Each structure stands twice: as C-alpha cells, then as structure tokens.
Structure 1
Amino acid sequence: MLEISRSPLLLMLKPSLPKLGMRLLGVDLQKVLFCSFTFVAMVPVVFLGTWVQQNSLEVELKAVEDKHLLLANNISAALSRYATDLTATFTEKSENYTENLSVQAKTLLTSFNIRMLAVIHDGNQPVFKMGDAKYFPAGGTAALARIRKTASRQLPKVAISPVLMNTQQEPMIYICRVARDGTIVVAAVSTEYFQQVQKAITFGAGGHAAIVDQTGQAIAHPKVSWQTSAKDMSRLKPVQLMLSRQTGVTRFYSPAVEADMIAGYSFVPETGWGVMIPQPYAELEANVHQARTIALAISLAGLILAAGISWKITQSVLAPIRTLIFASQRLAAGLPVGDLMVQSRVLPSEIQHLLRSFEQMSLEVAQTRENLQEKVAERTHELVQEAEERHKLEQQLRAMATHDSLTGLPNRRLLAEQLQQTIDRMTRSREAAALLFIDLDGFKAINDSVGHQIGDALLIQVADRLKSGLRASDSVFRWGGDEFIVLSESANTIEDAIALGNKILDAIKMVYQIESHRILIGGSIGIKQISSHLGEVVADQILADADAAMYQAKTRKNCVVVHSSMTNLIQQ
C-alpha cells in the first residue's frame, strides 16, 4: 500500500500520485468499470432481443387465440341472447294467433327483424297477420311441408329453420310452432341483424367475421355473393368444428380469400349457429417480421446507449472520487484545498485513502449532526406546542360557531349537519326518527313585563329542562328566540314522538323560580317524522314541515301537532 505523507510538499505533489500509482499497477479503473457496466446493461437487452426473435410467432399465435376466440365467444353470446329474445317474443305474440296484431306488436316484431307472421291451418293456405306472401319460403307446398315437419318434430318448442330463400330469392330464417289444434304459426326473420354484427368486426387487412346456420350455410359473410346465396361452407374445417359444437382456434385454407387463415370459432347453443373470426396467416407472419425487426433495432440501440451511459457514468463517478481524496487530505492537514481539478486515471487504493480522510472528518460531522439534532428537537417541540394550541383554538372557534352563547345548546348550524346525517342514516337503515319544533307560548309577554334579563334566565332553565328530559340518543338545539328543536332517534313511531312531545310540554309547564319571580309558561310543538318512505328529502323540507305543524299548534296553544308526509296535512 502506498502511504502518503501529510507534509505540505507532498500534498502539493498529490495530483501526480494517482497517475504514478496507475502506471505502477497497470490498472485503468475507468475501463474496468466501463466494461462491467456495459456487460451488465447488455445482458438483459440481448436476452430480450433473443427472446423476441425466438418467441414472436408463438406470441402472435397466442394473441390470436386470445383475441379471436374472445371475439367469437362474445358474438356467440350476443346471438344467443338474440335467439332467446326472438323466440320469446315470437312465442308471446303467436299465442293468440286468431286475433289481429296490434300496431305495438308489429313494431316489436319488426325490431327483431321479423318481416312476416302467418297462420297455417289444415288447408295449407297461410293467413298473413304481418307482412305478405313475398316473404313466404320459395318452393311453396314442399317448403311448407318442411316447415310443418320441423315444427311438429320440436312440438311444443319453437323450431328455427336453416337459411331458406323466400319467393324473392332473399335469404330468410323461419321460426315456427304448432298449436294444440294443429295450426302452424310461422314467422320470417331477415338476416340483417347477423349482417350488422358481421360488419362490425374488422381488423388488420383481412380480418373479419363469418356466421353460418346449423347446416353450415352462410348467414353473414364479407363476400356478399356468399351471403345472398347462403353459400354452403360446411366443408371448411372451422365450420365442421362449429357444427360439431366445438370452440377453439384452427388453421385452414379459405376459398373466399384464396389464402391460409387462422380463426377462432364458437357456436350458439340454442340454435346451432356458428361464428368464426378468421385472419390471413400472412398478416401474422408480417407482424412477426416487424416485431423481430423492431427487437433487433432496439437491441442495437440498447447496446449503443448502454455503452455511452456506462462511459459517462465511469467518468462522472471517478472524477469526483479523485477530487474528493485530494481535497479531504488537504482539509485534514489544515491546508487550503486549492485547485480540485485532477486527472481522470486513479489507483484502486483511492477508496482506502477516501475512508481514512473521511474518518478524520467524521468526528466533526458527528458533532455537527448532534448539534443539529438538538436544534431540530427543540424546534419540533415548539411546533408541537403551536399545533396543540392551534387545535384548541380551532375547537373553541367551532364550539362558538355551532353553539348558542346563551343556553350553551347546539345552534341551527350544527342542527343542519346532524339533521342531514340523521336523514341519511334513517334512509339506509329504513328506521324512523322525529323532529320536534318547540315554541314557548307567552314568552314575549313575560320578556316585556319582567325584562330581558329574567327572560334570558327563563330560556336557560327551559334549555336545562329539555336536556335533562331527553334520552342519550336525542339532541336538543336552540333554533332562535324562544324556539327550540329536539331531534329524537328514539321516537321510532308517531306515537313515540307524540308521547315525547307531551312529556316536553309537561316539563315546560312546571313553575320557574327566577329571583323573586314565579313564572308559568306553556309551549306549542310541531312534529315531523323522518323515515325512509319519504324518498329523497332534504333537511330544509323536514324543518319547513315541522315549522308548519308548530304554527298549527300555536293556534290552539299548549299542544302537539303532527305533520303528515302522506297527505301534506296537519293532524293532531
């Protein structure tokens, strides 16, 4: 180990010592760190690039399986709901086949793409309840016989036919059922809904959807000629799998686009319809090629970036270390630091020199930290005291803002908060509470005759009686003047509220002894019940109803009146 003297002469020569040690030992720490950092950064980049190169096709196939099969299953689920709703609507509207269809019924059937509804009796002559003969299946008697046979075979359920051509050579699906008397009710369903669903699915350059019936004929297909002619697609591999009621992903050759395809396929359990979501296999290969190209470009860019960052890091790390070693030794020797710029090449032993230098400085740092901690502790204690005092002041201000200065009761501001909370709680729990609006009878006359000081004392005693006569779940508030409000969650019924009101009146009517005055006073109470059957109600409405009931009570004096929310009437 090369020891460095503390003499001023050697310290002045210090900038040249790292280069001397570097030449002696033949070590370039910057290159070592650069190679190490570059290698560490290069490993995940190369690994990621290799993984993408090897697994991109597998990833694409997995994505196709997930995406295409999900689309096929979603479309199958939509068609399943459509078939269920279609058969339910047809069954309901065909029950009373002897009656004519209403306008509303025809509108409903039309919304399900039903173009014709006919009733066929023994004479084989259809009676059209909706639509006309152009929607009837081509083939006349033979087609009718097939429909009759299909319907009879599935009696009493609704039968759904494969795609058949009507007399206008348009593809239709026929649903029918046989009544108990042998009458056949048949409806012609347009394939427009299937076509709308099919057109909504497009992705990539050639990705699409195709829907076939239970025999493999095209119901909806991007190739219009296949769609209008109900092309037989039963020879295609995915169609065969769908007709055998299977769900999955397969690869096949498509005559429609003359290319290899990969498709997710599914089926509709209620009808046997099939849904497939094919995409040209060439698009997957193009995506794989693009992904591999991007991965290669990213890998190369990552390597270049890693090399550049590694070189910059080594420069930025080693330069301060060299400078700090020299500066710390000069500070320990009590000499001025001077110019801190040094060469970039250093000895590995510089870290040891750095530790020795900072060991001498650590005592000063520790003492400084101790002094700082004491100051922080003192300031923290002061801040805690200030926070506690501020909290107390906030509590005092809130109490002044929410309580009456004369009686000490909560005021109307706190009432508004608690009343809304009670309304919400009663709505959730489906329980009931009551609000009692109290007005003292004859208080103004007493206040005018004996003075405001006696009147204030009377209000204080009334408040004390109200507080002492209530349960823990009840609250009393001063509304203003000689008006008080009791919010009772223990009064769950009208009878409980009336009983509580009478109890309060009895307490108010007792004699008050204030100085040399014996005072008698009464009260009038309006009650409003708070319950879930009120619906969405606000606190202001509750107060207004109770106030109205109280004014009704004032006309009679010393009584209780209940406001009815069912009739908006006042009842005693």
Structure 2
Amino acid sequence: MHLRAATVPERTTEQAAMKLRHFFIFTFCLIAIVPTTLFWLWPYSKALEFEIKEVEQRHLVIAKNMSGAFERYYHDVVGIFSILDSQSPEQMQSNEFRALLNSFNFSLVARVDNGDGSTKDCLFSNGIDCPQFFEPAILALAESTLSEGRVLSTVTEDQALQTGPVFVLARETADGLLLAYIATDYIVAMGKRVAFGEKGHAAIVDHQGNVLAHPNDGWIAERRNITAVSAVQKMLEGKTGVEQFFSPALKADMIAGYTSVPNALWGVMVPQPIIELESKAIAIDRDASLVILIGLGLALAISIPATLSLVRPLERLIKAIHVIEKQGSSVHLDWQPSVFVPKEIRELKTSFGSMVLSIEKSRKKISKLAYFDSITCLPNRSYFYKLAIKSMDAMSAEGRKGAILFIDLDGFKQVNDSYGHRAGDELLLLFSNRLRAHFSACVEDDALLAYYESLPENIPARLGGDEFAVLLGHTESREEIENRVHSLFNAIFSDYDLYGGVRVSLTGSAGIALFPEHGSVCNELLKLADVAMYQAKAAGKNQVHFYSIQK
C-alpha cells in the first residue's frame, strides 16, 4: 500500500510546523542534556564491561603464548634426555654439551641401580654433587612417572641434596634407570616476565596442580597445590577459557585467562584483580565526563543551524508516521527526501523495517542461548525448572499426576577418555536427537521457545554433563510410567555410530520421583529422582528405580 497525500488541514499542519520550529532547539538541547545527566551513572558499568572484555582477550592470548613456549621447552628437554645415555663420556664432558644441558636447567644426570638406588655413573652435575644413593622417595616418584607412561615427573625436591623445586626425568635402561634433575628456573623466569597493573601476574602449575611459578615465592618453594581453584581444575582437564574466581593468595576476586600445555599437561593462568579494572573504569568515567561536557558545548553550537535543515524533512516524516498509525506497519513510504537531507533521515523509512526484523531475530537468538543447551538444543537446567514448575502448577490445578525421570548415562566418562571430547559431544547430540524424536519434540530453532512455552506433555532436558531429565505429564499409575520409560529406553539406549568409525553401546541408569506422591516442589522432586538414579546405579546400572526411602 502506497502512502497517499496527508489529509491534515493546511492550517493545522502549519501550526504543528511552527511548534516544531519553536521547540526543536529546546528538544535538541534536552536530548543532549539527558544523556549527559545519565552519563554519571551509565559509563562506569560500561567502562568496566569494556575493561573485562579487553582483559578476557589479552590474558587469554598471553596464556596461550606461554603455553606454546612451554610446549617447545618440554619437547626440547625430553628430546635431549632421550639421547643422553647414547653419548660418549667425552661428549658428555665437552663444553658444548655441558652448555646445552645448562641452558635447559639440567642440574644432575646419573645412571642408577633401580634395586638399591645406588649411583652407577654420574654423567653430569651442575651446582650439586652426585649422591652415592638416591632417596627412596625420588626412586618411587621415578617409578610412578614411568608407570604413568610419562618421562617428566611432577615437581619435587631432593631433600638430601637441597635441590629446591626440580623435575625428575626417568627412563629405564638395560642396566637400571637413567635419572635427571631439571630445575624449574626457566618456568619461574617466564612467569615473572608477566606482570601488569599492580598485581597482574602469571601462575603455572604441573599436571597435579602444584605451583611451578607464582608471585608468592613461598608457594613455589613449598610446591603449593592449588587445585581448589576452579580455573586450575579446568586447566588440568585440558580446557582453555576465561574465569572469575577468588584468589586465596591475594585475597581478592580475580579474572584470569587460562589454558594447558598439551603434552606436559601443565596449566598456565594469567590472573588480575578485578579491583584494578574497577579503578581503570573510574578513571575512564572521569575522563569521559570531561569529554561529554565538551561535546555538549559543541552540540549546542551546532544545533541551531542543524535545526533549519532538519525541520522540513521531519515534518514530512511526521505526516508519514500519522498515516502509518492509521493504515498499519505494512504501509510503503513513498517519500523521497532531498539529497541535501542527511543520509540517516533518507534511509529511515527503510531501516526502520529492517530494525524491527533484526530485533526479532536477535530476541530469538538470545532466548536460545539463555534457555537451551548449546550441544543438544534441549532445555537447560534453569529453563527445565521454569517449565516443570509451570507444568506442575497446571497438573495440580487439574488434579493430574506426573513424574520426573532422572537419567544418567552409564560409562560416559570412558567415552571421553577413550575417544576424546569430540566423540563425547557427538554422542550427547545423537542421544538427545533420539530422546527428542521419541517424544516428537520440536527441533526447529524458530519454534523452540514457543513449543516449550506451550507446556507439552513430556519435557526432556539436559541438566549438565551426561545427566538428563524428563518431565512426564499426565500419568495415572506406576505401571503406566514403567511402560513409558521402558519404551523410551528401547528407543534411546542401543548402539551409536560416532565419527571415525567408533561404535558405542550406550546404556543408562534412571530414577523416578512421582508428583505429587513424593512431593510437589520441582527442586525436591529432582533431588529424589537423582537419589533413585543412584540407587539404580548401585544395583548394577542399566536399571530404573522409583524413589523409595532406604531403611
């Protein structure tokens, strides 16, 4: 539908134009002043948000760069150690070879009798003397390292030699063991190079979470274990990311980029106190306030001539808006402003429609991120709670019964350990596809939110990890529930073909809590179903148990 000429009387239009001309400057100034007033509250949070985003990028890049350096160092050390017992005594004692060992912080290399721990031959030493016998703790650590299929041990200390923090390298030979000590000086030095702000630093841990490098020298000396920090736990799991946490060392909230060293399995973390970011945000806030005041002055100087060029096209736009109000949003604006009118106004008639579509698309994307699991596209834990509460309220009002089914996949960890997290994620996706297909649940992105908000009878969800839940609505008896769950298990538990020709035979254990027999609160029912699931696990897995009080 095309816009026809406005039917507003000429005199009324002229009066409106006069009002617009009289008040345009006032409005322009008001629009400039209001944001300035709000600026005293708004910019601090925005500045802090900007600082946090910048830190997330910068700290993660630093952590990854350090990880790459440590990975090369690890390969070089292991490579040098692999050729030590093939060198002649003359080569081992040459200045060039000794310089090479020194450059990689080797402090001791010896052939050892793995029976009594006696030293057969001291191939190299720097700063410490070769012992006649190695401590049992060192030999036990070497044996443990070899049994794990590793060459480099966790960080330790030879108390008898007072080595300070060292790694033990061990390799079995035909006549015993080849042992070497490597000081952690290189790692400590690399860690100390990273310093920014007042307390921004790097923290490096070995594969068991013991400190290798840290601003607190006491923690380095005692090889403090810091696996209690959630970011350290994730590093040791081989994960990379950014996290906020509380630092026991600095007694402050921190934000850190973290990653792992792939082959050495060390963890690298680059944290900084959040309070330092808040200080920067305050400084930015103060500087921006001055800038905005200057900008306000300039805006006032420009507003008067700008008014003259904007009033006429705005009048036409107002007329068009009145017609749209009467005829609907589908009206096509047949208004072509002059080329002298600013581009923004000339494009307003088309960009407005595009903006509405973009907002709708963004709303759908945000809703999916907030309410659905990224791997399986099933409702996440928080959305499941919301849906279950609404559904239980409806069932309670109608006097109907229901149940919560809590499913835990048997042996899922072994799939991750054996075939990698890619296989694990693929298995979760395939499993959720079967789960959704069994209940004929919606799979279309555009319709996901509307589908679940309509409260279907059965609502499957992923709670996290390999834990799933299903709200079974409108049930009449335990027998009916058993039949429904039996049918579900036949559909979802069987062989799965994964990437790379991997075939996995999947089973699961499940617990059932009844509504309202076992309770009418979603959170409590889910806990009871979880308890019943563990009862099923204890009974031998691949079973389903209704919740019952254990006597």
TM-score, normalization by structure 2:
0.46
Larger of the two Rg values belongs to structure: 1
TM-score, normalization by structure 1:
0.45
